[in-house]
A and B are shown apart, each in its own frame.
Chain A
Amino acid sequence: MAADTRQSPAPAPVREPGRPPRQVWRDRLTHWDYKASPYLYIAPFFLVFAVVGLFPLLYTGYLSLFDRDLLDDSPTFVGLGNYLDLVGDEQFWKSLVNTLSIFLLSTVPQITIAVGLAALLNTRLRAPTGWRISVLLPYVASLVALGIIFANLFGPQYGLVNGVLETLGLDRVDWQADRFSSHAAIAVMVNWRWTGYNALIVLAAMQAIPKDLHEAATVDGAGAFRRFRSITLPLLRPTLIFVVVTSTIGGLQVFTEPKLFDAMPGSNNGGAANQFQTVTLYMYQSAFETQQLGYASAIAWVLFLVIIVIALVNFLLTRRLADSGGDR
């Protein structure tokens, strides 16, 4: 019934003198309904978010001010002590560099390939749905299964990738021990999973671009590449921003891939010398292996801030990039 009143024309009812008070009360209700209902409708999301998102976020912040062991009943307040420790913690910086390196190695190729893939899928193909579903398949497959398969492929001694490299006359690569190689291997895993997914999102946006723009440009003599750069790319801007921001958030939280990549099953070390330990993996290790919950909370907050900063930078960069494309 509340919805019915809301559908009545917008202007607020004018109160007439001499009307019975009940009518005034009803007017007031209608007025509140009109003002408050939209908020009520979206409230469930924010309530759930407050419980499972905001509260843990704030509580983690509170916890990060304590020196708290997992089985410790009496945590001691240390203020910003955990954060100061973090600044001097070599392993943390190492894991941050690892994370950024894996992030760059995965996000940049991933989005580039996704846009290219979308452009290909947007051309006239036989059985378009079949092609579209097939690029999504890696995303559907279980992440854990993928992790195990890829860790096997990249095995240093008996892995398939090294076998192929050797047949091609190239040197074997120690995918576990070498820092950059391990990052590349993990990035391949991430890309394998996410490229198709992003390609479909970009494809949806591409299909929403009006055909007449392309036709007009064709009439003006623009080639396919020129049309792609000057029409498709600028009009993809909002979608690209979305894709870049979500993959930034995901890319900086990579956890399962490096965990499963480690030769030692169940290990959180990220390699013998932490050469591919990401920040989330280090956070998990601090919380549940070395059992320092306060310290792990501090890591979580720093990671949160890093993600916000990088997502913002990416947002601005993407806007700029797509803008300049439109000016031409």
Chain B
Amino acid sequence: MRRAVALSVAITVVGGTLAACGAGDADTGADGKVELSIGTFTEFGYEDLLVEYQRLHPDITIKHNKTGQGGPYHQQLFTKLGANRGLEDVVAVEEGHLSDVLAKSRLFNDLAEIGPKDVTADRWLDWKYKAGTDKNGALIGYGTDVGPLAMCYRKDLFEAAGLPSDPEAVKPLFATWESYFAAGDQYVAGTGKAWFDSDAQIFNAMHNQLPTGFFTTADSLDIESNRDIRANWDAVTAAGARGQSAKLTAFSNEWNSGFKSAAFATKTCPAWMLGVIKGQAGPENAGKWAVTAAFPGGGGNWGGSYLTVPKQSAHPREAAELAAWLTAPEQQVKAFVKTGNFPSQVEALSAPELITATDAYFGGVESGKLFAEQAGKVAEPQYKGPGDGRIQETVTTPALQAVEQGTSPAEGWQRVVDGAKKIAG
């Protein structure tokens, strides 16, 4: 993890110019082969699949550009979009950056138009498919994986605080946000320790359950007029002020250490978070963490990606075909087995490999079945306007961090409003 960070930062710092030269335009090679390129970040589990695809299609060769971390990867993506060159034929886009891509959907191919005709909406979970279409109904991305949310918690700490600790028995604690914060108060009173990792992590989960994000469906900034956003802000900052937050910025070194030192007792837990917890809490804490099929306020999704084909691709049809093949249920199940990325395809969710998947670290829980159940609880996708993801990342998250560092919630909120206005332009 830490090495991945170092690597990707090095790429941002040094490689800004280098990268512009790499990722050359796909071309038909001298031997008549079509050269395709695909850009992904972190781990998509595609290495073996790409080899298989080239074996099945001898006339196609594929170049795979992998970036360590999502942030720099997407910055590059938008720079190359602006330069109108340098992007791969198939480009992975993470859900958090999707709103910016959909706002510029004219720079991407409509996959419903150029993709294989047998690939239809019913391949994916309904909300996943819908989130990948733009306002005019053009399909911009084929869904790859999803991050359905469940709750992870420290069994031993729950017991110490006199809370139920069995995965079934804790469900009522995670029924609504009210019950979640109430249990938090009980936990803080019992142990004097924090309930969750940071305000921002809870705020994001609450915010993503709203029908619309920071913008109305007409793309006007809604941050002051949408009372629900403010209500979530108040609830989270109040809980933080009562000692429920460990004040650890997500994915920071200190946050990583927080898993080992049991700095917090619960964690909003998309499927891929199990791997993060295992890695950071380490083998000495095996069996102490548990995961349960409940999430405050219903369900939710955090993360997951799409494969897109930008207009600048020289071989859009071949690229769409590759993307369609990679996002087919069979392939995504293989990727799941390899990386744990949770598939977004309906058929994949009942695949035997997934249904029988268990996790010994989390007390032998049937994790595949559990997250498939959580994926079914996700409501309609939230409408995200242009800049929605950026507001979450560069405005609300740092503002909540500032509140944890001593800024008053009212002043923090003012920063949110100002910052959001600046991004909305």
Identify the A interface with B (CB < 8 A): 70-71, 142-145, 147-148, 151-152, 155-159, 174, 176-177, 255-256, 259-260, 263-269, 271-273, 285, 288-291, 293
Across the interface, do B406 and A288 meet the contact criterion of CB distance under 8 Å?
no
Query: Pick the contact of B72 from A145, A152, A157, A266 — CB < 8 Å?
Result: A266
Is there an interface contact between A264 and B72, defined as CB atoms closer than 8 Å? no
* B44 CB, nearest partner CB in chain A, Å: 19
A265–B5 CB distance below 8 A: yes
Q: Which residues in chain B, 381-425, are within 8 Å of chain A measured between CB atoms? A: 390, 394, 397-399, 401-402, 404-407, 415, 422-423
Among candidates A159, A260, A266, A291, residue contacting B71 with C-beta atoms closer than 8 Å: A266
Task: Report chain A residues within 8 Å CB of B81.
Answer: 70-71
Name the contact of A288 in the complex, choosing from B5, B79, B258 (C-beta under 8 A): B79
B12-46 interface bits toward A, Cβ cutoff 8 Å, 1 = contact, 0 = none:
11000000000000000000000000000000000
B12 surroundings in chain A (CB, below 8 A):
266
Q: In the complex where A71-B104, A264-B401 touch, is A148 in contact with B251 (Cβ < 8 A)?
A: no
Out of B10, B261, B398, B407, name the residue touching A264 (CB < 8 Å). Answer: B398
User: Does B107 count as interface, using CB distance less than 8 angstroms?
Assistant: yes
Q: Residue A265 contacts which of B71, B248, B399 (CB distance < 8 angstroms)?
A: B71
Return chain B residues, CB-CB under 8 Å to A151. 253
B residues contacting A by CB (< 8 A) are 2, 5-6, 8-10, 12-13, 69, 71-72, 75, 78-79, 81-82, 104, 107, 248-255, 257-258, 261, 263, 390, 394, 397-399, 401-402, 404-407, 415, 422-423
Pick the most buried of A152, A272, A273, A290: most chain B CB atoms within 10 A of its CB: A272
B397 touches A264 (CB 8 A): yes
A-B pairs with beta carbons under 8 Å apart, 29 shown: A70-B78, A70-B82, A71-B81, A71-B104, A147-B9, A148-B6, A151-B253, A155-B257, A156-B254, A158-B254, A174-B405, A255-B13, A256-B9, A259-B13, A263-B252, A263-B255, A264-B252, A264-B398, A265-B69, A265-B252, A266-B71, A267-B394, A267-B398, A271-B398, A272-B401, A273-B402, A273-B405, A291-B78, A293-B82
* Cα distance A271–B10 in the bound complex, in angstroms: 20
Chain A contact residues, majority secondary structure? loop
B residues less than 8 Å from A259 (CB atoms): 9, 13
A165 shortest CB reach to chain B, Å: 16
Give every chain B residue within 8 A of A145 (Cβ-Cβ).
Answer: 6
A148 touches B252 (CB 8 A): no
Residue of A266, A288, A290, A293 with highest tally of chain B CB at under 10 A: A266
- Chain A residue with minimal CB distance to B405? A177
Contact flag A272-B402 (CB < 8 Å), given A264-B397, A288-B75, A291-B78: yes
Residues of B within 8 A of A70 (CB): 78-79, 81-82
| Shortest distance between the CB of A150 and any CB in chain B (Å) | 11
B248 touches A272 (CB 8 A): no
Residues on B with beta carbons closer than 8 Å to the beta carbon of A272: 398-399, 401-402, 404-405, 407
Other contacts beyond A71-B82, A265-B9: 18, CB < 8 A: A70-B78, A143-B13, A144-B10, A155-B253, A157-B254, A158-B253, A177-B405, A263-B252, A263-B401, A266-B5, A267-B394, A269-B398, A272-B404, A272-B407, A273-B407, A288-B78, A290-B422, A293-B82
B6 to chain A, nearest CB (A): 5
